[in-house]
Amino acid sequence: MTTWTILVAIVLGLGAGLLSGMLGVGGGILFVPTLVLLGLGQVEASATSLLAIVPTAAAGAWRQRAYGNLRVRAALVIGVVSVLGAEVGVQIATRIDESVLRRLFGVLVIGVAAQLAVRTVRQGRRYPDGS
């Protein structure tokens, strides 16, 4: 990996993280296309994005634990089921042609964009001062 690629990855990662935080979408929706642009295949980009979620989720859980918002039992159940779901997803993703997988991801991105648009229209513009 060249220095230029690393620099581009850092800038795109910061941008995707900022947009994810501002728009309330999962980082994978932005990170996967970024990683594909950097030369990874669709499967590798998806796997890398999923791995990047682990420290983020751990930090969030730790922080929310301090506020008393973490339900450990529910988190463990979700974690175990997520691992099983990830394994099933890997089995499916490695059997599908990469171009089909990329198109399916595109449909997902369009669906998330539509959901954000609908939610924004339903809520209307709300500013902190109530105007």
Domain ranges of the chain: 3-123
Nearest C-alpha neighbor of 105 from the set 55, 57, 49, 21: 49
pTM of the model as a whole: 0.68
The pLDDT tens digits of the residues spanning 20-57 come to: 777 666 777 778 888 888 888 999 988 888 888 788 77
Q: Specify the pLDDT at position 47.
A: 87
Q: Specify the pLDDT at position 129.
A: 58
Question: Residues 38, 12: contact at Cβ < 8 Å?
Answer: yes
Q: Specify the pLDDT at position 100.
A: 94
User: Which parts of the chain sit beneath pLDDT 70?
Assistant: 23-25, 125-131
Contacts for 107-111: CB closer than 8 Å, 24+ residues apart:
108/29, 109/29, 109/33
For residue 36, what are the contacts with CB-CB under 8 A and spacing of at least 6? 42, 45, 102
Q: Specify the pLDDT at position 18.
A: 80
Q: Specify the pLDDT at position 95.
A: 92
Q: Specify the pLDDT at position 88.
A: 93
